[in-house]
Structure formats: structure tokens, C-alpha cells
Structure 1
Amino acid sequence: MEEREKERVEALKRYDILDTSPDTAFDRITELVTELVNVPVAMISLVDADRIWFKSTYGVEIEEVKRRPGLCDRVIVQDELYVVEHASKDPGFIGHLAAEGEGIEFYAGVPLTTHDGYSIGVLSAMDMKPGSLSEKGAGALRKLAQVVMDEIELHLEAKRLEKVNEKLEKKTTYDSMTGVLNRDAVLSALYKKMALSDREDEALSVLIIDIDHFKQVNDEHGHIVGDEVIREVAKRLDRYTRESDDFGRLSGEEFMLLAYPSDKKEAEEIADRLRAVIAEEPISVSNEAGRLDINVTISIGIFSNEADHLLKARYIMHKADEALFESKREGRNRITVWS
């Protein structure tokens, strides 16, 4: 019995529905119960290990109660429709919290049963006066319990789809090696930031960043070490990127930062901070001999549209790229602002 109860609670947790927000789909069901069974109170109860949590209630406001032997347990154990017509005269009802606290006299409950046979909760109808449940009412309660389970299954499926969509979005938006925005995503962000720059009349600065002598790192230490260097550079740069900015990997060892709002002066300050965070501390990577410290620097080219917010994306990137080339030509580990 203890093992079965453990499995039942695990089945409930699998649906990930406890403590979720109110849902009109469930609220419509409890309201419908009161109309079809002709009672003032209806509840959708989910029975956890030590509490009973109410997904929906009609006619009474309650979120949860401590679980103890009572009606919900009876319904779950019997795994079938359970009816109490006159609670105050029914010994089996004594000690039930709702009966003592709210004066419930009539109770009818149907288990909410999963496709693999676990009763995870109860759909119940209640009244403050004695009553009875007709065959038609019993049939309606059973069918509505199935509808509740259908909604719970839909909730679970929606959660699964949400996770799948999150994975797909991550795959199409983020670079698989570094976790920063991929090329398509950061270019898309560029167009959005350009439109924002024009609309808000604020400057946008584009920083193109390249790891210096990266081919040499690959040639001397191999591509596995080279990949680790790219990941660590991306991690450091991303950590020091402002929340309002967009940062992504264009290709290989080249990255792009969209600083907005930011004029040339602000962009140069940002770039110098990024350059320093790479140059000041060697990148420690693992190789066959153990750990290896590699001194890495970056070069940065900057272009700002502060003089003209209607410039084309291709032009902006071309000028930032030319500024980057100038940084390389002048000895690397430096910043060039196109002017």
C-alpha cells in the first residue's frame, strides 16, 4: 500500500500542475458541476502526499488543506464514485475538515484517474443540506471527471511543447559552441536596433571583435584547445556586456556587439573594458599535459551611426570591419573607432 501511494504521488508530480495559476477551463467545469448536480459547491482537488490542493473551487474560497483521513482518501482508495447523503449521521464523515468547518452534509466525489490507473485527485460536489445523487447526476460527474483529466493531460502536453519550442528557439538563436547569439540572431538584432535608433533618435555603435593570432593558437595547440579559447573569450565578453546590448558570434573567432544607446565615446569605453578583460588574465585550458595558460588578446573595430541614423546595415558593418582591420594593421590588442 505504501509503495502504491508513493507511485500515486509520483504520478501526480509528473503532471506538474500543483500550485499553478487559476485556469478558466477548470473553473468552467466546477461551475458546470454545480448546475448539473444542483449543488452550491464543487471542487477539483489534487491529493499530494501531505496536503490537498484545489485547482478550482466554486461556491467556496480555499487553496489547500492539510491532508488527513477523510473523503478524498476514501474516494482515492475506493477508486470509484463515493457518495455521502447525510454527513452528520454518517460515522465515516466524522473528522473531515470540510464537514466540521463548513457544515457540509451532502458529498459526492469521483476520482481523477490517470491513463495508467493512478487516482491523483477528486472532482466533488457538495451541499450544506442532505441530498442524493441521481443516476443522471452520477453520470455527469463521471464524465466531467474525465474532462478534468483531459484538461490535465493537455496542460502536461502544453508544458512538453513549451520545452520543445524552447529547445528549438535556443537551437535557432544561440551559437551551439559558445551559447551567445548566433550569426543570424545577432544580425537580426542589428536591424531591430537600427530601427530603434532611428525611432528614438539615439546612437547605435557596432563593435566587431576578433581574437588576435587565433590561427597560431590552433596550429600550436590544436582545434580542441582553440575551441576552448573561443568559448572562454565569448564567456568573458558576454559577462561584461550591458543588458541593453546584444552580443553574438559572427563566425570562427569573430564576434559582434551592438551597443545601444551608445555614441563613439561610450562605445570606445565599452571596447576598452572588453579588451582589458581578455588581455589581463590568461585563458586556462586543458590539454594532454594537463592545464595550459594561453595569453590571448582581442582587436576591436567600432562604427557609430550617431551622425546619421538612416545608414544601411551593410555599410555600418563594412565600416566597423575596416576599423577592425586598422586595429590589426596597427599591431593588434587595440581599438579603432571609424571617424
Structure 2
Amino acid sequence: MGLNKSASTFQLTGFPGREKARHWIFIPLLAAYISILLGNGTLLFLIRNDHNLHEPMYYFLAMLAATDLGVTLTTMPTVLGVLWLDHREIGHGACFSQAYFIHTLSVMESGVLLAMAYDRFIAIRNPLRYTSILTNTQEMKIGVGVLTRAGLSIMPIVVRLHWFPYGRSHVLSHAFCLHQDVMKLACADITFNCHYPVVVLFAMVLLDFLIIFFSYILILKTIMGIGSGGERAKALNTCVSHICCILVFYVTVVCLTFIQRFGKHVPHVIHITMSYIHFLFPPFMNPFIYSIKTKQIQSGILHLFSLPHSRA
């Protein structure tokens, strides 16, 4: 297969140097893909159909599950096609669209985690006004704001990808399209595309994390002021799932960013593996975290599969 077979397509790669093992790599990735679809799909089904879960906390959880599904559905079909069918060609338009949705959904996940932190902040710091502050209208505004912010922030760099000429190698280094991977193939000045994502990372993702961090300082201060040990534990328990999801997402973001920016001498397979971890690990773990730590979700799952359970 030639490197410049068509000026209108890019060539995807899987794990360079591991071509003989690509079918074996396919198996765990397929298992993770199915698990992510089932886990997040089950969360969305439960939240939609169980009236006990029609609360702001679970609506935001539904947004998180939908975002995780979006990331997975955007990336994994292409990855599995490369590994199993050796289907490596992707048109420019499809590639740019995939890059747009991948990066938009990543920024959106950060925004959803921030919205969930706001929910916990109101629930613990101002419980008597919780339902009056987080009304359905307010939740919808937050959701639209998170989506709009993510979509508009990524649009400038992806629009520029459409206008760049691509006359050199059309081989990408991943099994899906990432902005930073595509822009390196452009025969044009990519200064803006190099620096703008750093601005987005600091102005949105890092800022989201800092706001979440300081909100939890205030939340913990409030919890420590509760007189009853049982009530303190109950209040803290409502935050544990969210804290775990925050750690899962932001740790992978930091690791991926560090590898991309400072890992020039790190083997390329490490870059690729870290990308898969970033895009697969949070969607894989989030349903398990909430299923294990949230009694209402546990109860809904047991009821869904008609297993005997206690609602105590």
C-alpha cells in the first residue's frame, strides 16, 4: 500500500511494529468496547426509566455517560476496523470530523465533571435550596453551555485542517484521527494549530480542574462542620464516585499531555498506548465506579435483571 495512494485519503496505523499481533490486540479492545457500550448504555437506560433517579445528580451522570459513549463510538469502530479488517484508509472529511468530535467530547467531559462538582457543591453547602437552584431549566442551560463551549473551542483548529494542503506522507500514527497527528502532515504554517490547543488546555481543562479542586475544599470544610459522624460519612459518600471519576479522567489527561509534549524520545508504542488509555479508561471505569458506590444505581441494576435485592 503506497503512502500517497490518494491525495483525498489518510492512511491509519494500528500498533507499528506489532502488525503480527494486531488480531490479538483486537480482542481486549473489542471486550473493552462492548463493556463501555453496555455499562454506559445501562446507566442511560436506568436514569431514563427509573423515576427514583430523576434528580439533578443523575441527570449530570447521564450527560457523563452520553459523553463517554460519544468518545467510544467516535474512535473504536475505526480502531477495530484497522486491527481486524486492515481497513486503513479514511477520507479527509471523515478524518477531520472524527478529530473534531474526539477533541470536542474530551473538553465536554471536563465540563460535565465541573457541572457535577457544582451539583455536589449546592447539595452539601446549600441543601435547603438544592431543588430550587438546580431546576430542570437550569440543568438544561448548564448542559447546553457545556456542549457549546466544547464545540466552539475546538472548531477553529479543525476548520484550519480543512484548508491546509497535504502533499507529503498521508500516514497517520494512530488508528484514529487526532488533530495533533493530522496537522503534522500539512504543508503549511501550523503555528496557530500548535499553540491554540495549549490555550484550550489551560483555559478550560486546567481551569475546570482548579475550580473542582477549590469547590471540594469548601465541600470538605462544610462536611467537617457537620456534628454527626454518621451524617458526615453520608455526605462524603455522595462525593466519592465523582471524585474517583475526576481522578480517572484528569490523571489520564495529564499523562497523555506529558507524553505528547515531553516524550519525544519515548517509544512510539507508548504514545499510542497512552492515547488508548485516555480514550478508553474513563468510559470503561465510570459505570463501574457509580455502580459500586451508588446504592440507587445498584438497586436499579438489580431490578433491571430481576435479581432479589434490598432497598435498605
Same fold (TM over 0.5): no
| More strand as a share of residues | 1
Which structure has more relative contact order (CA 8 Å, sep 6+)? It is 2
TM normalised by structure 2 equals 0.24
| More helix as a share of residues | 2
